[in-house]
Amino acid sequence: MAIAIDRRSLEPWQDPKAEPYVRIERVTKKFSDVYAVDDVSLAIFQGEFFSLLGGSGCGKSTLLRLLAGLEYPSAGRIHIDGVDVTDLPPYHRPVNMMFQSYALFPHMNVEQNVEFGLKQERMPRRERAERIAEMLDLLKIAELGQRKPDQLSGGQRQRVALARSLAKHPKLLLLDEPLGALDKRLREHTQFELVNLQERIGTTFITVTHDQEEAMTMSTRIAVMDAGQIIQIDTPTGIYEYPNSRFVAEFIGSVNLFEGKVVRRDGDEVLVESPLGRSLQMHCPHPLALGTPVAVAVRPEKIKLCMDFRADAVNQISGVVEDIAYLGDVSIYHVRVGSEKIVTMTLANIQPRTEQALTWGQEVAMEWSPTSGVVLTD
Amino acid sequence: MPAPAPNQPASSQRLSRIVNVGIPYLWLGLFFLLPLGIVLRISLSEPALAQPPYTALWEWLESGMVTIQLNLGNFMLVWADDLYLVAFLNSLRVALVCTLLCLLLGYPMAYAIATAPERWRLLLLMLIILPFWTSFLIRVYAWIGILKANGFLNNFLLWLGVIDEPLAILHTQIAVYIGVVYAYLPFMILPLYANLTRLDHTLLEAAADLGCRPWRAFLQVTLPLSRAGIIAGCMLVFIPVVGEFVIPDLLGGPRTLMVGGMLWTEFFSNKDWPLAAALAMMLLGLLVIPFVLLQRWQQRAEARGS
């Protein structure tokens, strides 16, 4: 029996009739002469786990602070749940934020920290106590209620910060590098916990991160930012498999870029003349004029070894293995093609390493299918 | 049999521990406990026309007996005479009022400096510290020029037309308050500033984010977190002001009798060292006991918190 899943309820951004929960319209934020956020428009839907991804100084944190009301935009409007909140101060917004440094009040214990926001909205004492218990339970820190922040470990502090920011049942939770202060092992574990938590309570999450792996694991959609602008918004798969620019392709994962020119079009296929000495045939759904300078982007794991090299076969190139990085599960091979180009190829280590065929200085032939990469113009 | 080797470092470690702990104790003993003992010993003697001007505490008699004479009369006199009590209470009141005024004036100033743009902070701090570069005495004298009947302040107010005749400020309690607050304000501002600059600004952002208006955030976050600075500033003002002598002497009138002035009179005018020493000891008791109690109460509160 097939289970019918309405794709639109899982991917509301595909539905033209869906009303976005958070709407950022042409927002610009200038700090003296610097554009921290430059004419950004963004629609985020209810229940999403949305990530703003970019390097430091790309404007992702500023955008988050604009949503929280900790900064006001120089231009543009921000709507949350149909209400224009652009000019509302932070204490009047139905939004809570988890700070990168956690910003726990050091003079209050865990319960008092969680209670702080509830007190501000004058919730009666009994309700407050119930809500605190609910939050501490949700984050499995019930036994820490009486501790002060300086008596907690980093992971515990992160949970308290999360409990505090969720206590008021905000319409929107903003997370600034939520896992940034945790060590690697704890971070990987917490990624999944955070996603499970978000699915359970259904609150819309917007998170800022510089860690692409984190963004890929947790998000429904990712916005890749650079220099105050959004370069691409898509699902993790979309961002990875179909980057829209060299910047995104290189920012997420590693990629081989083959520069060239469109020399022939044939339906959805284009032929790109490259300095590798042979033309590459790629799938490309959008029309490109002949002579357009492009880059063919192919991920290292999409490249296969081929046993018999034929000069007329599609997308076959040959080169010499220069470097091998053995990572256990996979190995990364750097193959020199021609005199200058280094092609990176990742192969799963299906056999124990000693039995593997490839070694330094060996001549190899590689290939990929026309649908295994994208043609980039930007 | 040779001594076991591990003993060697252990004993040298013990020596260094004794030196480390011993030097501060030696210092305190030499420059705090010993003088205090001498003052205590003087307070228990009687005044005499001699050099030094007080009687010896003990005497060797021919028969080989030692007689020790402890004179509690000085303490009884201080206790019995209302004049001293009034001076004590007056000192406490002046210190309390001035500490409060310094806190009310100093907190906003310290807060403003701490939150000022980085490039202004050093300049503003320098302005607070600048008066220290002039002699304390000269600064207090300057206030006489400002406060006297035809002084700067009165002339200014007359010129403005706010008053018709000069205000009598100099040689009143008000002049003492003005002088003390002026002189001790930096001692309040500096510890508060040191405390407030360390305040993490994101805590206030977190408070605002959780629905807290700026004024309430100040009361619920900034103020409790600056408690250590407030206590330090208040102590630095309160303790020296209780014993302050120069300001009430120069700016105050006949009715602004404070313990500092009494001490001066007893020591230098009446040459009654024992009585002055007894006064000093009682002043010390008056200051130390409340602070010890406060500290114990704080420790207990902290122990309960954790």
pLDDT score recorded for residue B138: 93
From the list A159, A172, A194, the residue with the least C-alpha distance to A85 is A172
Q: Are residues A109 and A195 in the same domain?
A: yes
Report the Cα A212 to chain-centroid distance in Å: 5
Rounded to a whole number, what is the distance in Å from the CA of A212 to chain B's nearest CA? 26
Confidence band, pLDDT 50/70/90 cuts, at residue A353: low
The sheet that has A34-44: what strands, in order across it? A34-44, A22-31, A75-80, A83-84
Q: Which of A232, A247, A262 is the last residue of a domain?
A: A247
User: Is A276 part of a structural domain of the chain?
Assistant: yes
What is the domain count for chain A?
2
Question: What average pLDDT does the segment B204-217 reach?
Answer: 95
Asked if B200 and A95 come within 8 Å (Cβ–Cβ), the reply is: no
For residues B208 and A90, is the Cβ–Cβ distance under 8 A? yes
User: Is A154 part of a structural domain of the chain?
Assistant: yes
Question: What average pLDDT does the segment B224-236 reach?
Answer: 92
Question: What average pLDDT does the segment B30-37 reach?
Answer: 93
Rounded to a whole number, what is the distance in Å from the CA of B220 to chain A's nearest CA? 9
Q: Taking CB atoms and an 8 Å cutoff, what residues of chain A touch B224?
A: 107
Interatomic CA distance for residues A14 and A10, integer angstroms: 9
pLDDT score recorded for residue A364: 87
Q: Which residues pair with A233 in a beta bridge?
A: A223
Question: What average pLDDT does the segment A362-375 reach?
Answer: 88
Q: Are residues A61 and A46 in the same domain?
A: yes
User: Is A334 part of a structural domain of the chain?
Assistant: yes
A94-109 pLDDT tens trace: 999 999 999 999 999 9
Question: What average pLDDT does the segment B56-84 reach?
Answer: 84
Q: What is the CATH number of the domain that holds A223?
A: 3.40.50.300
Q: Are residues A228 and A369 in the same domain?
A: no
Interatomic CA distance for residues B195 and B304, integer angstroms: 24
Top-confidence residue, B302 or A298? A298
- Tell me what percent of the residues of chain A surpass a pLDDT of 70: 96
Residue of A70, A148, A164 lying closest to B205 (CB–CB): A70
When the candidates are 2.60.40.650, 1.10.1740.10, 1.10.3720.10, 3.40.50.970, the CATH number that belongs to B81-271 is 1.10.3720.10
Asked if B206 and A97 come within 8 Å (Cβ–Cβ), the reply is: yes
In the predicted structure, residue B305 carries a pLDDT above the cut 60: no
Nearest C-alpha in A relative to B210: A117
Which of A174-188, B80-94, B181-195: highest mean pLDDT?
A: B181-195
Average the pLDDT over each of A49-58, B74-83, B92-101 and give the range with the smallest value.
B74-83
In the predicted structure, residue A238 carries a pLDDT above the cut 50: yes
Confidence band, pLDDT 50/70/90 cuts, at residue A184: confident
Structure tokens at A14: 């595909």
From the list A285, A286, A284, A280, the residue with the least C-alpha distance to A263 is A280
Q: Which of A186, A219, A247 is the last residue of a domain?
A: A247
Paired sense of beta strands A204-209 and A172-176, if any: parallel
User: Is A118 part of a structural domain of the chain?
Assistant: yes
Structure tokens at B144: 């006489």
Q: Are residues A195 and A122 in the same domain?
A: yes
pLDDT score recorded for residue A5: 45
Per DSSP, the three-state class of A9 is helix
A210-226 pLDDT tens trace: 988 899 989 999 999 99
Question: What average pLDDT does the segment A28-54 reach?
Answer: 93
pLDDT score recorded for residue B107: 97
In the predicted structure, residue A7 carries a pLDDT above the cut 70: no
In the predicted structure, residue B4 carries a pLDDT above the cut 70: no
- Tell me what percent of the residues of chain B surpass a pLDDT of 70: 96
User: Is A24 part of a structural domain of the chain?
Assistant: yes
Confidence band, pLDDT 50/70/90 cuts, at residue B181: very high
**B224–A contact, CB cutoff 8 A:** yes
Q: Which residues pair with A332 in a beta bridge?
A: A325, A346
Asked if B203 and A105 come within 8 Å (Cβ–Cβ), the reply is: yes
Residue of A103, A109, A120 lying closest to B211 (CB–CB): A120
DSSP string of B42-111?
A: HHTS-B-SSSSSB--SEEE-TTS-EEE----HHHHHHHH-HHHHHHHHHHHHHHHHHHHHHHHHHHHHHH
Asked if B200 and A103 come within 8 Å (Cβ–Cβ), the reply is: yes
Residue of A90, A107, A148 lying closest to B306 (CB–CB): A148
User: Is A11 part of a structural domain of the chain?
Assistant: no
In the predicted structure, residue B93 carries a pLDDT above the cut 50: yes
pLDDT score recorded for residue B49: 81
Residue carrying the six token digits 């107010």: B157
Domain that holds residue A143: 19-247
Structure tokens at A336: 């020199």
pLDDT score recorded for residue B3: 47
Q: Which of A204, A231, A247 is the last residue of a domain?
A: A247
Q: What is the DSSP letter of B7?
A: H
Q: Taking CB atoms and an 8 Å cutoff, what residues of chain B touch A69?
A: 208-209
| Angle, alpha carbons B88-B92-B93 (nearest 5°) | 115
Residue ranges of the domains in chain B?
A: 81-271
Q: Are residues A224 and A263 in the same domain?
A: no
User: Is A3 part of a structural domain of the chain?
Assistant: no
User: Is A4 part of a structural domain of the chain?
Assistant: no
Q: What is the CATH number of the domain that holds A357?
A: 2.40.50.140
Determine what percent of chain A falls in helix, strand and coil, rounding each to the nearest 5: 30, 35, 40
Q: Are residues A66 and A195 in the same domain?
A: yes
A273-304 pLDDT tens trace: 887 777 888 888 888 888 888 999 999 999 98
Q: Are residues A317 and A337 in the same domain?
A: yes
B131-165 pLDDT tens trace: 889 999 999 999 999 998 888 999 999 999 888 88
Q: Are residues A80 and A143 in the same domain?
A: yes
For residues A203 and A166, is the Cβ–Cβ distance under 8 A? yes
In the predicted structure, residue A136 carries a pLDDT above the cut 90: yes
Per DSSP, the three-state class of A301 is helix
Q: Are residues A181 and A314 in the same domain?
A: no
Residue of A69, A103, A151 lying closest to B206 (CB–CB): A103
Asked if B211 and A168 come within 8 Å (Cβ–Cβ), the reply is: yes
Q: Are residues A216 and A79 in the same domain?
A: yes
Say how many C-beta atoms besides its own lie within 10 A of residue A87's C-beta: 11
pTM of the full structure: 0.81
Q: Are residues A110 and A173 in the same domain?
A: yes
From the list A83, A172, A84, A167, the residue with the least C-alpha distance to A121 is A167
B242-273 pLDDT tens trace: 989 899 999 988 777 888 888 888 888 888 89
Q: What is the mean pLDDT of chain A?
A: 89
Question: What average pLDDT does the segment B45-64 reach?
Answer: 82
Q: What is the mean pLDDT of chain B?
A: 88
For residues B167 and B154, is the Cβ–Cβ distance under 8 A? yes
Interatomic CA distance for residues A299 and A323, integer angstroms: 17
Q: Are residues A234 and A259 in the same domain?
A: no
